[in-house]
Amino acid sequence: MTAKAARHSARLIQGNEAIAEGALAAGIGFYGGYPITPSNEIGEILARELPARGGVFIQMEDEIASLASVIGASLGGLKAATATSGPGFSLMQENIGYAVATEIPCVVINVQRAGPSTGQPTNPGQGDVMQSRWGTHGDHPIIVLSPGGVLECYTLTVRAFNLAERYRTPVILLADEVVGHMRERVDGFPQLEVINRMPAEVPPEWYFPYDNNLGDVPPLAGFGEGYRYHVTGLFHDKAGFPTERIDEIDPWLERLFHKIEGNADDIIQVEEEGIEDAETVLISYGGSARSARHAMNMARKNGKSVGLARLLTLWPFPETKVRELAHRAKRLIVVEMNRGQIRLEVERVVAGRIPVEGVHRYNGEMVHPYSVLKAIEEA
């Protein structure tokens, strides 16, 4: 691209707008949602853009119905998504579990705000980290991504759709109000690979939607394409019908987990800055990582040996990377807008090998870089 073309493509763009554009670039065909601050811009943009591109936008009566409509649209063969925030995310939990159990690809975007309950609708928080992992009942795998800037809102949204389609699973894009509402210059969005689900290649009468013999991720045929099969949240056999046979349940459950855990290297992303010589490593994600990076830069100017590990993937938790950091650094400081939800995971993995500290804020205000700097200097 020439310099002139680059200037022409430069835009001052909001994080939520970038999420909507990422969804369109990934090939979204259906959006079902219910308005809630601070995610509303996503739905507003898709309400305008999706019908113009041959897609479908529906405002549902609530968040429960929103995700139900998304699941139905995905079964019909469309890439589908919804966007919400804390209270709405809570209402979606049962259907998130249903999508996990029935292996239906979809994307759930949660632009977090301060809570609990209605909290502060226009202020940031990161209190949904553990809910994104364990909010729906029962043991289940899940993929959760966390963008830290406007361009990443775009790229991780595309990635969320790709992972959902590749692994036949719901994927949660866990943003926050800081990232969703901030504006940054973007010199054009990159062309990214777009992945579509594996189609069925057998006649309808031979098709089994949950056939463990076809690998970790069996092909998914869309309703309306000549295929008709059973879908239930109950434990089911390869045809999708409820079963209580342990010899059918156990292999299915093992495959359900293995398709995520066995592909952790493909799913997990951690960005490192200044790690090579760092005695203190900051671990952060989302909007909080911006404060952590600023504090790291100030500390390094003051002669401190500090690095940053920014988690783009929260779940599956990057245990291998955290364990590696514990062997290289002398201490870890976790920076987040909650009371220590990721810090607890870091402590679990580190298992006392080195000190783990936290810099936390959960009153609707962003973590201040000087709070992080103070923690660094109090070694």
Listed residue (141, 147, 85, 148) closest to 117, CA to CA: 85
The backbone torsions φ and ψ at residue 223, rounded to the nearest 5 degrees and listed phi first, read -60, 145
The backbone torsions φ and ψ at residue 277, rounded to the nearest 5 degrees and listed phi first, read -115, 15
Strand, coil or helix: 360? strand
**Concatenated DSSP letters for 302-331?**
TT--EEEEEESEEES--HHHHHHHHHH-SE
50-81: buried (b, 16+ CB within 10 Å) or exposed (e) per residue?
beeeebbbbebeebbbbbbbbbbbbbebbbbb
Domains of the chain (ranges plus CATH)? 3-187 (3.40.50.970), 204-264 (no CATH), 271-377 (3.40.50.920)
Give the pTM: 0.96
Listed residue (220, 222, 253) closest to 235, CA to CA: 253
Q: Is 243 left (phi over 0), alpha (psi -120 to 50) or beta?
A: beta
Given a cut of 50, the residues of the chain with pLDDT beneath it are: 1-7
Give the pLDDT confidence score for residue 9 in this predicted structure.
79
Tens of pLDDT, residue by residue over 194-224, are: 999 999 999 999 999 999 999 999 999 999 8
What stretches of 195-342 adopt beta strand conformation (E)? Answer: 270-273, 280-284, 306-311, 313-315, 331-336
Give the pLDDT confidence score for residue 141 in this predicted structure.
97
Give the pLDDT confidence score for residue 4 in this predicted structure.
44
Find out whether 192 and 155 touch, Cβ atoms under 8 Å.
yes
Give the pLDDT confidence score for residue 224 in this predicted structure.
86
Q: Which two tokens stand for residue 87?
A: 């209270």
The backbone torsions φ and ψ at residue 306, rounded to the nearest 5 degrees and listed phi first, read -130, 140
Q: Which two tokens stand for residue 25?
A: 């670039």
Cβ-proximal residues to 284 (8 Å cutoff; 6+ apart), any chain: 291, 292, 308, 309, 310, 311, 334, 335, 336
The Cα–Cα gap between 346 and 335 comes to: 11
Q: Sign of the C-alpha dihedral, residues 278, 276, 340, 354?
A: negative
Give the pLDDT confidence score for residue 3 in this predicted structure.
42
The Cα–Cα gap between 25 and 81 comes to: 13
Find out whether 147 and 15 touch, Cβ atoms under 8 Å.
yes
Give the pLDDT confidence score for residue 8 in this predicted structure.
52
